[in-house]
Structure formats: C-alpha cells, structure tokens
Amino acid sequence: MKITKDAEKLEFYFNENITAPIVKDLKEEIKETLEQNNEYNHVVANLSEVDYIDSTGITLIIGIYKSVEESGKKLTVTGAREEIKNLFSIIRLDEIFTVQ
Amino acid sequence: MREYQVEFISDFKEADYYSVLLTTYIEKHYDHITAEESFNINFALRELLNNAVEHGNHNDPEKKVRCIVSGSENGITIIVKDEGDGFTIRDVQRQQPEQADLEIRKRGLWLLDKLGFTVEVEGNNVTAHYNWEVEK
C-alpha cells in the first residue's frame, strides 16, 4: 500500500488485493497513519489495482470510514472495478460514502 | 461434469491461493464466463474457505479444509467441508441487514444469496450453487 498526503487529502493506494492474509497488517498501518495525521479533510481509498476483495477487506474499508467519519471528515473510494462497486452497492455502502 | 478437489491446512494464505487457483480452473473450462461471474465466484470461494478456516476450524493448522468444485452446462457447485462442529454463525450470516451494513463479515451468506448463489449448510458442510447467466 502506498500512502500519499497533501494539505487537504490523505490517500491510501492499495496496490494488491485486499483479502484476509494481509488485512490485519493493512489495518495497523492505516490506524497509525490516521492517528499521526490530523491536517487532512478528505481521505481517499484508491482501489485501482485491486482485483479481488473479500469480506475482511470490505470491513477494512468500513473501518476507514468509521475513523474518518468520527473526525468529521470525508471518505471517497476511487478506482474500484465494477464488480467491487456492485458489492458496495448491494451492501449499500455507496449510500454512506462516495464510491467513484 | 468436471470436478476439481483441493485440501489444505487452516490458513488464510492457503484459502487465498486456492480461491485464485479454483477461479482460474473455472475460467479455463467455461469460456462463456463473464468478468462479473468470475469475480463473484472468487468472492464466494473466499467467503466459504475463510469461514471454514476461521469459524469451522478456528485457525487450527492441524485441521484441514476440503473444497470440491464441479461444473456443468447449467452452472457450478462449490462444496466446502471443515473439521469443526458445524457453526451457528452461519445462521446469523443469513440475516438481512436493516440498513447499510457496517458489519458485513456477519452477513457473508446473505451476500452470497444476493450474488445469485443458492447456499445450503449442513453441519460442517456448506454447498453453494450458481447457475450461469448464459447457458451453453
């Protein structure tokens, strides 16, 4: 996962599948990053290189949303393949954060 | 009818590996499969295999997970067996969420239903069947 920051935006760029074997490590890294950075107003989860996701991965994205929302900030999911967007739509996650 | 069978130790990395292997096998044998179907089958395999590892075998590496995939001109059937007692969480997993679901891991089987799978649970044996969108 690559992490980039600018004045307003914090981006998590997932460059591998978000699935059970790596979710625990990703969760730790994301938690530390969010705790150490308060300046941003907007968090982006970029899924452009994600071929597969499982329910642990979806839970990870939900965890990012919860952390960001508690801070009064905004989450956008970008670059997701159509099939992942479909999953998010079934679960109605696209009603609580933006999925592009 | 084609059949493919794998058995592996209770580990998420193994479940990951075999979910991709089995998806590739299915894609190879059914050239009419759409990208959406392939993705959804992979998602179902991951859900069932991860469930068997975590909730069935409690991540015990001494316990094995077995998966049998068989296909026909109508669709595919995935059977996953673990060495657990048969878990009640699978009943919880069928419940439909009232609103946007923030605890999706508790709704895995409900989600598979939504993706077009017919899922039956009998003890430590889960069977998921999917009919092709386009019959060939």
**Are the beta carbons of A52 and B39 separated by less than 8 Å?**
yes
Find out whether B28 and B69 touch, Cβ atoms under 8 Å. Answer: no
Alpha carbons A42 and A51: distance in angstroms, whole number: 24
- Asked whether residue B46 is assigned to any structural domain, the reply reads yes
In chain A, which stretches have pLDDT less than 50? none
**Are the beta carbons of B43 and A87 separated by less than 8 Å?**
yes
Distance from CA of A85 to the nearest CA of B (A): 11
Quote the pLDDT of residue B88: 56
Quote the pLDDT of residue B85: 80
- Asked whether residue B103 is assigned to any structural domain, the reply reads yes
Q: Does domain A2-99 have CATH number 3.40.50.1220?
A: no
- pLDDT digits 0-9 by tens, B23-51: 999 999 998 899 999 999 999 999 999 99
- Going A21 to B25 to A61 to A15, the CA torsion angle's sign is positive
pTM over 0.95: no
- Asked whether residue B61 is assigned to any structural domain, the reply reads yes
- Asked whether residue B136 is assigned to any structural domain, the reply reads no
The answer to whether residue B123 scores a pLDDT higher than 90 is: no
Quote the pLDDT of residue B136: 46
As a whole number of angstroms, the longest Cα–Cα distance in chain A is 34
Quote the pLDDT of residue A9: 92
Chain A residue with CA closest to B42: the answer is A52
Where does residue B31 rank: exposed (0-12), middle (13-18), buried (19+ CB within 10 A)? Answer: exposed
**Domain encompassing residue B43:** 4-131
Q: What is the CATH number of the domain that holds B81?
A: 3.30.565.10
Name the residue ranges covered by the structural domains of chain A: 2-99
pLDDT mean over B15-26: 96
Query: Which of B11, B12, B103 should we substitute to test contact with A (largest number of A Cβ atoms within 10 Å)?
Result: B12
- Asked whether residue B9 is assigned to any structural domain, the reply reads yes
Find out whether A49 and A14 touch, Cβ atoms under 8 Å. Answer: yes
Domain count, chain B: 1
Quote the pLDDT of residue B98: 55
Q: How confident is the model at residue B73 (pLDDT cuts 50, 70, 90)?
A: confident
- pLDDT digits 0-9 by tens, B53-65: 998 999 999 999 9
Alpha carbons B97 and B103: distance in angstroms, whole number: 9
Quote the pLDDT of residue A43: 96
Nearest Cα neighbor of B43 from B14, B65, B16, B4 is B16
